[in-house]
Amino acid sequence: MKTFFAIFILSLFIVDGVDAQNDNTIILNANIITAVHKGERKQAAVIREGKFIYIGTNQQAQTYKNGNTIIIDAKGKTIIPGFNDAHIHPSPQMPFEHVEHVLKLDTVTSVASLINIISKKAAITPDGMLIRGRGYNESKLGTEPLATIIDKATTKHPVILVHASGHKSAINSYLLSINHINKNTTDPAGGKFDRDASGNPNGICKESATQNLTKNPAIKPYPPIGFDEEVKNYESYFRDLLSYGITSVGDAGADTNRLKIYRALVQHNFPMRFNVIMLDKLLPEMEGGDGTHEADAWKVLQLFGENKIKQVQNDFLRVKSIKVFHGNSLSGKTCWLYQPYNMVNPATGKMDYYGIPYKRSQSALDSLFLAIHRKGLQICVHSNGDREIDMVLNAFEKVYADGNPLQLHHRIEHCSVVNDSIIKRIKRLGVIPVLHCYINELGDLLEPYGDDRLNNMFATKSFLNAGVLPALHSDAPVSGYNTLERWESAVVRIAPSGKALGANQCIDAEDALMMYTKGSAAATDEPAIKGTIETGKLADFILLDKDPTTIPPKQIHTLQIINTWVGGKLVYDASKK
């Protein structure tokens, strides 16, 4: 093993040299899972100028040897394409001591621990300044973190805790008070304030009810952060993604400010490929809950039309998509369904809760989609419930009524609760489903959907059987971006409780890998340059310690990522951690 790593370290030194792009790198004795066709394996690869120029046998690969060739002996280790997390919400990494640090709550499993971590943050935060947390899970806490609970940690700070879904938030009495939210406050269109038995808001705010809560001028502002520091904080985040074998990401909601950060990262030759899906404002996932999912896609379309957002497509930056919301949350249990949830509606005491209807009409959705499509931009529409998705497909049918001369492949982000009719429509229209794979992390929140719907949720197997290759994504920070955990979840579908959810949708490790690589490349209209290991493609790949297709499915999360390569260059080496 020491010899193996020495060879890789040597290759890093040479590949980063001045003349590296004029040399060949040859990898021999590998177990290459190409993801081109299921079951296809190769022994060797040759890389030049950042691309694979040959994939095949050891013998043939060695014919590419010249005086400056770097030869790497993989010693039977497995190589797979780099992961492409098609839908993720990046955030800058900041230390706990920084006032803008967002508390990570996905591992908090008790009310006492929640109060403790908020109290510690309050002790180092100026009075009146916002404290933010992200990722609370009521199934782990045993209860919703009501305002009365958060108040035990601090009464001197506004506090907002965003749910794991990103579609609801818990706020304290301070924040309720300064926003004048009380018994007489009506629920906004597309949102809801949960209430106690007396009708008073209890601090749980759903969907559009979170809008502008933390924009109140009474809140003490954070000190400004310089652009260079902001870029550095994002670099730290993306460095961590490289350690999980992620070589391409899709930012599923970036505004023009963050687009500047991506341009800076590309200018600095940061080794990550960015697909930027534009939005007119940052989502709650990025701002700790102070945004709204009522984004104005018309405004983004106007910015593209005025060339204030320029369409870009090169090897490291793609800006050709607009994020549209037409639906609510799955794990937050607000998405709109045809049949009621298997839960009591707290507002009526009956089994008559269908979720929160999305307020946009069918005609408004149709006109929006047509305008984006005619501009030559990709539509990436957030939609979870079957009732929401049917409206989306109605709009896509109008989009494609006159054909698709620009060959635009639009997407449904999450596309969670489906049925046979929806799958057939998606296949016929050529729409790409971008599916969650987080049952092993958030599955316990999905019980209210019932077994029938769970059997048609994240329908990876059904889509494959219909001839559709979905893309997979983490939706981080909705679930973690640990690729091995997400990969395993798509294969075994076991919730934290130990219950299998929708076991009929389980797929094998290679199918899941192809969705996470080849499927995600198709979702960005880039199958010609990435997603598989074959001649002419970008040399983005991962070296694993074992073959994921030969180990028990429940051991996928134990795989070790030894190296990550982008454009034929070593960008992560586990031996240097």
Average pLDDT over residues 495-511: 96
- Determine the pLDDT at residue 1: 38
465 and 381 in a common domain:
yes
Nearest by Cα to 454 from 387, 412, 499, 408: 499
Residue 286 has pLDDT above 60, yes or no: no
Query: Pick the residue with more confidence: 477 or 564?
Result: 564
Please, is 501 exposed, middle or buried when counting C-beta atoms within 10 Å of its C-beta (0-12, 13-18, 19+)?
buried
Token pair recorded at residue 465 = 């059987």
Residues 231 and 294 in one domain: yes
| pLDDT tier for residue 190 given thresholds of 50, 70 and 90 | confident
Exposed e or buried b for every residue in 378-402, given b needs 16+ CB within 10 A? bbbbbbbbbbbbbbbbebbebbbee
169 inside domain? yes
* Cα distance between residue 559 and residue 272, in whole Å: 22
> Distance (Å, rounded) from C-alpha 117 to C-alpha 418?
39
| Residue 281 and residue 147 in one domain | no
Asked if 509 and 566 sit in the same domain, the reply is no
Cα(143)–Cα(340) distance, integer angstroms? 22
The mean pLDDT value for 268-282 works out to: 91
Place of tokens 């989609």: 369
What Cα–Cα distance (Å) separates residue 118 from each residue in 101, 105, 113, 132, 422? 12, 10, 9, 9, 43
Is the domain of 570 the same as that of 521? no
In this structure, is residue 285 part of a structural domain? Answer: yes
**Do residues 271 and 255 make contact, with C-beta atoms less than 8 angstroms apart?**
no
C-alpha 232, offset from chain centre: 21
* Percent of the chain whose predicted confidence (pLDDT) is above 90: 79
Look at residue 188 in the predicted model and tell me its pLDDT. 86
Select from 167, 184, 210 the last residue of a domain.
Answer: 210
Same domain, 343 and 458: yes
User: Domain total for the chain?
Assistant: 3
Q: Which domain holds residue 49?
A: 2-81+560-576
Domain end call among 154, 178, 210: 210
Q: Is residue 75 part of a domain?
A: yes
CA nearest neighbour of 81 among 440, 566, 413, 475: 566
Assigned domain for 253 exists: yes
The C-alpha atoms of residue 150 and residue 171 are separated, in whole angstroms, by 7
Q: Write out the two tokens for 175.
A: 């924040």
Average pLDDT score over residue span 475-481: 90
Q: For 245-279, give the DSSP string.
A: TEEEEEEEEE-HHHHHHHHHHHHTT-S-EEEEEE-
Q: Does 360 reside within a domain?
A: yes
Q: Averaged over 341-346, what is the pLDDT? A: 91
Average pLDDT over residues 446-460: 96
User: What is the token pair recorded at 279?
Assistant: 């939005």
Note whether residue 91 is domain-resident. no
Q: CA-CA distance, 298 to 368, in Å (whole number)?
A: 7
The pLDDT of residue 14 is: 36
Q: Residue 161 and residue 148: Cα distance in Å, rounded? A: 13
Q: Residue 16: pLDDT above 50?
A: no
Percent of residues in the chain assigned helix, strand, coil, to nearest 5: 35, 20, 45
Q: What token pair was written down for 350?
A: 């009956």
Q: Is residue 95 part of a domain?
A: no
Q: Indicate if the pLDDT at residue 50 is higher than 50.
A: yes
Give the CATH number for residue 361: 3.20.20.140
Residues 143 and 258 in one domain: no
Query: 293-299 long-range CB contacts below 8 Å, 24 or more apart?
Result: 293/167, 293/207, 293/208, 293/325, 293/328, 293/382, 294/190, 294/208, 294/211, 294/325, 295/253, 295/323, 295/324, 295/325, 297/322, 297/323, 297/324, 297/368, 297/372, 298/368, 298/371
Q: Is 566 a domain residue?
A: yes
pLDDT at 17: 33
Do 247 and 344 lie in a common domain?
Answer: yes
Look up the CATH number of the domain holding residue 117.
3.10.310.70
Per-residue pLDDT reduced to its tens digit, 287-305: 333 334 557 899 999 999 9
Residue 243's identity, in one-letter code, is S
* pLDDT the model gives residue 22: 52
Q: Both tokens of residue 312?
A: 């870009």
- Angle, alpha carbons 222-225-229 (nearest 5°): 145
Could you identify the residue written with the tokens 């074959």? 534
| Cα distances (Å, whole numbers) of residue 553 to 4, 120, 503 | 27, 40, 13
457-468: average pLDDT: 98
Residue 148 in this model has a pLDDT that exceeds 80: yes
CATH number, domain of 35, equals 2.30.40.10
Largest CA distance in the chain: 82
pLDDT average, residue stretch 10-19:
36
41 forms bridges with which residues in the sheet? 33
66-106 tens-digit pLDDT: 888 999 999 999 999 999 999 999 988 888 999 989 998 98
Q: Report the range of poorest mean pLDDT among 134-148, 429-443, 506-520.
A: 134-148
Do both 309 and 446 map to the same domain?
Answer: yes
Q: Is there a single domain that holds both residue 31 and residue 136?
A: no
Q: Mean pLDDT over residues 329-355, rounded?
A: 92
Q: What's residue 290's pLDDT? A: 37
Q: What percent of the chain has pLDDT over 70?
A: 94
Same domain, yes or no: 452 and 494: yes
- Do 188 and 291 fall within a single domain? no
At 92 the pLDDT is 86
- The one-letter amino acid code at 427 reads K
Q: Where are the alpha helices (DSSP H) in 400-544?
A: 420-429, 439-442, 450-454, 460-465, 483-492, 509-514, 520-523
Band of residue 259 on the pLDDT scale cut at 50, 70, 90: very high
Global confidence as pTM: 0.86
Look at 51-60, 236-245, 256-265, 326-335 and tell me which has the smallest mean pLDDT: 326-335
Q: How many residues does the chain have?
A: 577
The pLDDT of residue 483 is above 50? yes
Q: Are 171 and 147 in contact (CB under 8 A)?
A: yes
Contacts of residue 234, Cβ cutoff 8 Å, sequence gap at least 6: 90, 92, 93, 261, 265
* Pairing label, strands 432-436, 411-414: parallel
Q: Is the pLDDT of residue 242 over 80?
A: yes
Residue 575, pLDDT above cutoff 60? yes
Cis preceding linkage at 221, omega within 30: no
Phi, psi of 551 (to 5 degrees): -105, 160
Q: Are strands 131-136 and 159-163 parallel, antiparallel or unpaired?
A: parallel
pLDDT at 342 over 50: yes
Structure letter (DSSP) for residue 345: -
191-195, strands of its sheet edge to edge: 103-104, 131-136, 159-163, 168-171, 201-207, 191-195
The residue whose two tokens read 């091995």 is: 484
Tell which residue, 470, 349, 374, 495, has the closest CA to residue 418: 470
Please name the residues in contact with 577: beta carbons below 8 A apart, sequence gap of 6 or more.
243
